[in-house]
Structure 1
Amino acid sequence: MTETTNNLYYFDLQRQLWQDYFDLDIKENKWAPRVSKCFVKQHYTCRTYGFPKHIVEQRLQTITQQFQRTINELQQYILQSEQNVKYWQPYIYPAILSNAINECVKSAQQRLRQEFDYKKKMLALDSNDCSLITKFYDLKPNEVQIQLAKQIWQTTASILKTKAQEEIL
C-alpha cells in the first residue's frame, strides 16, 4: 500500500510537469522541435523546452493511464485492509493507517517535489528565453549585433552560474 501511494504521488508530479509543457505550448500556440545542443551552447540556454506536440500528448496519456491504474490498485488495497482489519491485533483504524502512509510518503517525496518544481520553473524560463531569442533574430540583426548579444548572454550566464555556486557554499 505504501509503494502504491508513493507511485501515485510520483505519477501526479509527472502529470503536472507534462501538463505544464502542454499548457505552455498551447498558450504560445507553438510546438517547437527540441532545441539543439549547438543552439544551447551558442545562446547559453537550457534544453528542457521544445517537445513536439505528439510526444507531449502521448506522455500525458501514458501518465494518466498509469495514474488511474495506480488509483484503482490503491482502492483495492484499501478495500482489502478494511476486510482484514478485524483480524489485526491491536486494532488499527484503516483511515488512520491510510493517513499515516500518505504523510510518510509526502515527507519522503519532499526533495522529489522540489526537483519537479525546479523543472517546472526552468521550463517557463527556457520557454521565455527561446521566445526572446527568436524575437531577437526576427529583428534581422547584423553579425556584429549577434556577436554582442552572444557576449551579453555569455556574461549573464556566467554571473548566474557564479551566484548559484555562491548560494551552494
Structure 2
Amino acid sequence: MLSNSIEDGNKIVQCLNTNEKLQFVRQMTETTNNLYYFDLQRQLWQDYFDLGIKENKWAPRVSKSFVKQHHTCHTYGFRKHIVEQRLKTITQQFQSTINELQQYILQSEQNVKHWQPYIHPAILSNAINECVKSAQQRLRQEFDYKKKMLALDSNDRNLITKFYDLKPNEEQIQLAK
C-alpha cells in the first residue's frame, strides 16, 4: 500500500528490507493515522461546540417519539461542559500525537542515513501521508456526513420549535407533518 501511494514507490519497497525498518515505518504510519483521526474528531467536536455557542443551546436531546413523529434525527445532545471536556481531551491527544510524530520524523532522518538503499526521509514521510489519507477517505466522508447532519438536525429542530411556538391547532399539525 505504501509503495502504491506515490510515484516511484518501488524505491520504498527496496529500502524496507529488514524487519526493523518495516516495524519503524509501521509505527510511524500508525502515528500518522492517529493524528489524522484525532484531527477529524477534533473538528467534529469543535463544530458541535461552535453550534452550541452560536445557538446557545446545549443538550438538545429530544424523545424518540418526537424524533419519529417529526421524521428528524436524534442528535448527540451533550451538555456544554461535556463538549468542552471532550474537545480538551481530543486536543491533548492531537497535540501528543503531533509530538510523537515529530519524534518519528527526527528519528527517520537519522535512520535513513544508514539505510541501504538510501531513501530520502521526505519521500518516506510523503508516502506515509498519502497512504494514510487514501486509507482514511471513507472515514473522512463519514465525519463530513456527521458534521452536515449536526447542522441539519439543529436547523430542523429550530424550525419545528418555531412552528410549535405559533400554537398550531391539531389540523395544522397534521398538515405540516
Contact kept in structure 2, 1:7 and 1:70, CA below 8 Å: yes
CA-CA distance at 1:48 after TM superposition: 2.3
Query: Secondary structure in 2 aligned to 1:31?
Result: coil
Deviation readout 1:69-109 (Å, 9 max, x if unpaired): 11111011111112212221111111111011001111111
TM-score (normalised: structure 1): 0.84
CA-CA distance at 1:149 after TM superposition: 2.0
Contact kept in structure 2, 1:85 and 1:93, CA below 8 Å: yes
Q: What does residue 32 of structure 1 align with?
A: 59
Unaligned 5+ runs, structure 2: 1-27
**How much is the aligned-residue C-alpha RMSD, in angstroms?**
1.2
CA-CA distance at 1:15 after TM superposition: 0.6
Q: Within 1, Cα distance between the matches of 2:81 and 2:62?
A: 16
Please say which of residues 104-113 and 34-43 is displaced more in the overlay.
Answer: 34-43
CA-CA distance at 1:49 after TM superposition: 4.6
Unaligned 5+ runs, structure 1: 151-169
How many residue pairs align between the two structures? 150
Contact kept in structure 2, 1:15 and 1:64, CA below 8 Å: yes
TM-score (normalised: structure 2): 0.80
Q: Within 1, Cα distance between the matches of 2:121 and 2:83?
A: 38
CA-CA distance at 1:144 after TM superposition: 2.1
Q: Within 2, Cα distance between the matches of 1:36 and 1:82?
A: 55
Q: What does residue 54 of structure 1 align with?
A: 81
Deviation readout 1:53-78 (Å, 9 max, x if unpaired): 11211111111011011111101111
